[in-house]
C-alpha cells in the first residue's frame, strides 16, 4: 500500500465529506476565477497589446494593429504567484474563462526559440466587471500592484528605453514645458500635482505623459459603483458640488490637425467622415457613414497614425498567429462596407489621413507626424488649457482628453474657445524652439496608392 493510499484509508470519511460539500468548493472556485479575471482585466488596461514584462515584439504589434487593444500574452507562473496557486490551476481556469467568454483565444506563436508556444488572449473587460463587480471594487488595484511589483524586466531593455527617453526629454522645448508645469504645481496640493518628466532615484526620466492621480481613477459613467473620481475631484477643489465632463472630440486627430494647419477644424466636424471623403471611394451620406462605416475607420486609423508601416504588418502578418475568425470578419466588413480589398482600404486610408493633416508629399514615400510622440505634444495643450481655466476662475481638471467642471460652469462653445487658444499658445511655444512636427522617412515596405478600384 502506498503512502497516499494509507492516508486515504485513515481520512476517507473526512475526504469524502469534503467532496460532497460542493458549495464550499464552488465558492472557492468562483473566488479564484473572479480574482484571476480581475487581475487579467488590470493587465489588459495597463499593458493591452504588449507582452507583460514590458517588451514589445513584432507578433504582438500585429494584434495592436488589428485593433485588439486588450490583447495580452499571459505569464501563467506570475499569475499563479499573485493568487497563491499553481501554473496548472491557472491554465485550467483560463480555459474555463474562455468557455464563459471572459477571454477570447486569439492565437499562439513561439518566442525566441522557445519549445513552447505563447498564448494570446483578448480580455473582455466589461463582462468581467459586470460578473465580478464586488471583487473588482475590492481588489482591482491591489492585485495589479502585487503583480507588477513582482515582474522582472531585463536591464538591457530598461537602459535602452531610458537612454532614448533622456535624449528626447533633454531638448530645451520639453525642459521649458516641464518648468512651466512645475510652476503651476506649486499651487496644487501634493496629492494632485501634475506628473510630467518625473525622474526616478537614479535621475532617469520615467514618464512623458501629462497625468495626475485622477487619471488612475474610474470613470463614474462606465463604472457607477466606483465613485472614486468624483470624490477625488471634490477633494481637489474642496467642494461638495457635482461635476460634469466635456471632452475634445477625436482629440488625437483633431489636435494633430490643428497643430499642423493654420485654420482650426470646426468643432462640429466629424474627423473620421472628413478623412473618409479624402479616400476618393464615393460619397456615402453622413447618416449611413455614421451607422455602418465610422467605427470601422476609427478602429483601423489609430494604428496607421502611430506607425505608417502598420499597413504592411496588417496585410502581411502570418494568419497562423492571428485569430482567423476575427481577422476574416474584419476583412469581410471592409469589403462589404467600402467595396474594396482590405489592403487597398488600408492604403487609401493612410494617404487620406496624410492629406487630411496636410503632411503628404509625393516626393517622399511617407512622412511621420507625431506618432507615439503625440502624447508629449498633447501635454502642451493640456497645460495651457488648465492654466486658462484657472485664470477664468473655473474649477477644472483633466483626465487625459476629458475635462471635469463643476456643473453649470462650462459650455461646449466656451470649452472649445479655450481649447483653440491653447492650440495657438502651443504653436507659439513650438515656433519659439523652431520645432519641426513632421519627419521624413524613406520607403521600408512596398505600398501603392490606388486611384481606381481593382479588377
What is the pLDDT, as a whole number, of residue 32?
86
Q: Measuring CA to CA, which residue among 185, 59, 153, 177 is closest to residue 111?
A: 59
Q: What is the DSSP string of 270-319?
A: -HHHHHHHTT-S----HHHIIIIIHHHHHHHHHHHHH-TTHHHHHHHS-G
CA angle at 378 for the pair 387 and 362, rounded to the nearest 5°: 140
Lowest mean pLDDT among 160-164, 197-201, 427-431, 432-436: 160-164
What is the pLDDT, as a whole number, of residue 117?
63
* Domain end residue (candidates: 153, 175, 203): 153
**Position 153 pLDDT exceeds 70:** no
- Clarify whether residues 233 and 264 are in a common domain: no
**Position 162 pLDDT exceeds 60:** no
- Clarify whether residues 31 and 139 are in a common domain: yes
- Clarify whether residues 79 and 123 are in a common domain: yes
Q: Tell me phi and psi for residue 367, to 5 degrees.
A: -120, 135
- Clarify whether residues 189 and 141 are in a common domain: no
Share of the chain above pLDDT 70, in %: 67
The CA-atom distances, in angstroms, between 38 and each of 94, 143, 217, 310 are 12, 8, 16, 31
- Clarify whether residues 289 and 350 are in a common domain: yes
Domain assignment present for 450: no
Would you say 381 and 255 are in contact if contact means Cβ atoms under 8 Å apart? yes
pLDDT, tens digit, for every residue of 93-105?
A: 888 888 888 887 7
What is the pLDDT, as a whole number, of residue 100?
85
- Clarify whether residues 389 and 286 are in a common domain: no
Q: Measuring CA to CA, which residue among 70, 46, 72 is closest to residue 59?
A: 72
- Clarify whether residues 350 and 380 are in a common domain: no
pLDDT, tens digit, for every residue of 228-257?
A: 788 888 998 888 888 999 999 999 999 999
Max mean pLDDT range (203-207, 310-314, 351-355, 438-442): 351-355
Three cell numbers, residue 48: 493591452
What is the pLDDT, as a whole number, of residue 54?
36
Instruction: Give the residue with greater pLDDT, 218 vs 344.
Output: 344
User: Which residues, at least 6 apart from 106, have a Cβ–Cβ distance to it below 8 Å?
Assistant: 63, 68, 71, 120, 121, 122, 322, 323, 326
User: Which residues, at least 6 apart from 404, have a Cβ–Cβ distance to it below 8 Å?
Assistant: 214, 229, 233, 243, 244, 245, 396, 397, 398
- Clarify whether residues 294 and 345 are in a common domain: yes
pLDDT, tens digit, for every residue of 293-309?
A: 999 999 888 878 876 66
pTM of the model: 0.63
Task: Report the alpha-carbon distance of residue 281 to residue 264 in Å, rounded.
Answer: 26
**Position 174 pLDDT exceeds 80:** yes
Task: Report the alpha-carbon distance of residue 388 to residue 393 in Å, rounded.
Answer: 9
Would you say 236 and 228 are in contact if contact means Cβ atoms under 8 Å apart? no
Domain assignment present for 448: no
What is the pLDDT, as a whole number, of residue 330?
83
- Clarify whether residues 55 and 134 are in a common domain: yes
Within 13 Å, how many C-alpha atoms sit on residue 378's CB side?
22
**Position 365 pLDDT exceeds 70:** no
Max mean pLDDT range (60-64, 211-215, 323-327, 405-409): 405-409
The enclosing domain of 114 has a CATH number of 1.10.10
* Domain end residue (candidates: 130, 153, 176): 153
What is the pLDDT, as a whole number, of residue 270?
96
- Residue 134 domain boundaries: 17-153
Strands (DSSP E) contained in 330-437 are 366-369, 396-399, 402-406
**How confident is the prediction for the chain on average, in pLDDT?**
76
In our burial notation (b when 16+ CB lie closer than 10 A, e otherwise), range 431-452 reads: eeeeeebeeeeeeeeebeebee
* Domain end residue (candidates: 136, 153, 170): 153
- Clarify whether residues 278 and 227 are in a common domain: no
Domain assignment present for 4: no
**DSSP tag of 222:** T
Cβ-based burial of 7 (10 A; exposed 0-12, middle 13-18, buried ≥19): exposed
Domain assignment present for 3: no
What is the pLDDT, as a whole number, of residue 449?
39
Q: Measuring CA to CA, which residue among 175, 154, 143, 155 is closest to residue 38?
A: 143
**Position 269 pLDDT exceeds 50:** yes
Domain assignment present for 431: yes
Max mean pLDDT range (11-20, 57-66, 206-215, 411-420): 411-420
User: Which residues, at least 6 apart from 265, have a Cβ–Cβ distance to it below 8 Å?
Assistant: 254, 257, 258, 271, 274
What is the pLDDT, as a whole number, of residue 354?
84
User: Which residues, at least 6 apart from 411, have a Cβ–Cβ distance to it below 8 Å?
Assistant: none
- Clarify whether residues 68 and 163 are in a common domain: no
Domain assignment present for 168: yes
**What's the distance, Cα to Cα, between the start and end of the chain in Å?**
76
- Please report where in the chains the cell 507615439 appears, as a residue: 372
- Clarify whether residues 24 and 136 are in a common domain: yes
Across the range 319-336, mean pLDDT stands at 71
Specify which residues 78 forms β-bridges with: none
Would you say 190 and 213 are in contact if contact means Cβ atoms under 8 Å apart? no
Domain assignment present for 453: no
**DSSP tag of 410:** -
Would you say 195 and 383 are in contact if contact means Cβ atoms under 8 Å apart? no
Task: Report the alpha-carbon distance of residue 162 to residue 246 in Å, rounded.
Answer: 35
pLDDT, tens digit, for every residue of 275-296?
A: 999 998 888 999 999 999 999 9
Would you say 50 and 72 are in contact if contact means Cβ atoms under 8 Å apart? yes
What is the pLDDT, as a whole number, of residue 156?
53
The CA-atom distances, in angstroms, between 187 and each of 216, 217, 388 are 21, 22, 14
Domain assignment present for 316: yes
Number of domains within the chain: 3
Amino acid at each position: 500500500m502506498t503512502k497516499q493510499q494509507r492516508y486515504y484509508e485513515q481520512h476517507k470519511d473526512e475526504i469524502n465529506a469534503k467532496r460532497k460539500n460542493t458549495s464550499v468548493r464552488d465558492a472557492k472556485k468562483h473566488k479564484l476565477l473572479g480574482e484571476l479575471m480581475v487581475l487579467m482585466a488590470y493587465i489588459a488596461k495597463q499593458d493591452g497589446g504588449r507582452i507583460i514584462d514590458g517588451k514589445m515584439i513584432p507578433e504582438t504589434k500585429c494584434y495592436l494593429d488589428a485593433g485588439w487593444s486588450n490583447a495580452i500574452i499571459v505569464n501563467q507562473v506570475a499569475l499563479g504567484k499573485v493568487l497563491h496557486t499553481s501554473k496548472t490551476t491557472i491554465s485550467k481556469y483560463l480555459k474555463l474563462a474562455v468557455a464563459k467568454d471572459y477571454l477570447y483565444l486569439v492565437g499562439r506563436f513561439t518566442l525566441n526559440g522557445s519549445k513552447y508556444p505563447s498564448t494570446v488572449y483578448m480580455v473582455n473587460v466589461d463582462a468581467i466587471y459586470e460578473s465580478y463587480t464586488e471583487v473588482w471594487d475590492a481588489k482591482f488595484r491591489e492585485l495589479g500592484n502585487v503583480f507588477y511589483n513582482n515582474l522582472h524586466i531585463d536591464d538591457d531593455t530598461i537602459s535602452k528605453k531610458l537612454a532614448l527617453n533622456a535624449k528626447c526629454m533633454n531638448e530645451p522645448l520639453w525642459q521649458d514645458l516641464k518648468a512651466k508645469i512645475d510652476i503651476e504645481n506649486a499651487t496644487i496640493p501634493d496629492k494632485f500635482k501634475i506628473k510630467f518628466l518625473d525622474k526616478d532615484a537614479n535621475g532617469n526620466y520615467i514618464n512623458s505623459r501629462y497625468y495626475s492621480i485622477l487619471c488612475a481613477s474610474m470613470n463614474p459613467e462606465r463604472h457607477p459603483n466606483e465613485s472614486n473620481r468624483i470624490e477625488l475631484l471634490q477633494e481637489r477643489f474642496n467642494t461638495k458640488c457635482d461635476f460634469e465632463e466635456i471632452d475634445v472630440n477625436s482629440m488625437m486627430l483633431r489636435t494633430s490637425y490643428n497643430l499642423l494647419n493654420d485654420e482650426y477644424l470646426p468643432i462640429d466636424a466629424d474627423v473620421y467622415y472628413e478623412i473618409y471623403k479624402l479616400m476618393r471611394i464615393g460619397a456615402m451620406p453622413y447618416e449611413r457613414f455614421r451607422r455602418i462605416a465610422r467605427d470601422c475607420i476609427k478602429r483601423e486609423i489609430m494604428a496607421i497614425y502611430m506607425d505608417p508601416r502598420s499597413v504592411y504588418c496588417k496585410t502581411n502578418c502570418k494568419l497562423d498567429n492571428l485569430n482567423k475568425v476575427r481577422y476574416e470578419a474584419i476583412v469581410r466588413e471592409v469589403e462589404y462596407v467600402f467595396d474594396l480589398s482590405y489592403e487597398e482600404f488600408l492604403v487609401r486610408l493612410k494617404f487620406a489621413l496624410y492629406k487630411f493633416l496636410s503632411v503628404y508629399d509625393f516626393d517622399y514615400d511617407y512622412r511621420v507626424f507625431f506618432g507615439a510622440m503625440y502624447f508629449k505634444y498633447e501635454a502642451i495643450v493640456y497645460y495651457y488649457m488648465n492654466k486658462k481655466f484657472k485664470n477664468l476662475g473655473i474649477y477644472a481638471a483633466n483626465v487625459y482628453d476629458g475635462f471635469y467642471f463643476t456643473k453649470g460652469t462650462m459650455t461646449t462653445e466656451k470649452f472649445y474657445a479655450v481649447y483653440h487658444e491653447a492650440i495657438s499658445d502651443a504653436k507659439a511655444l513650438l515656433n519659439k524652439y523652431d520645432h519641426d512636427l513632421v519627419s521624413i522617412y524613406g520607403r521600408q515596405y512596398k505600398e501603392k496608392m490606388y486611384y481606381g478600384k481593382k479588377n
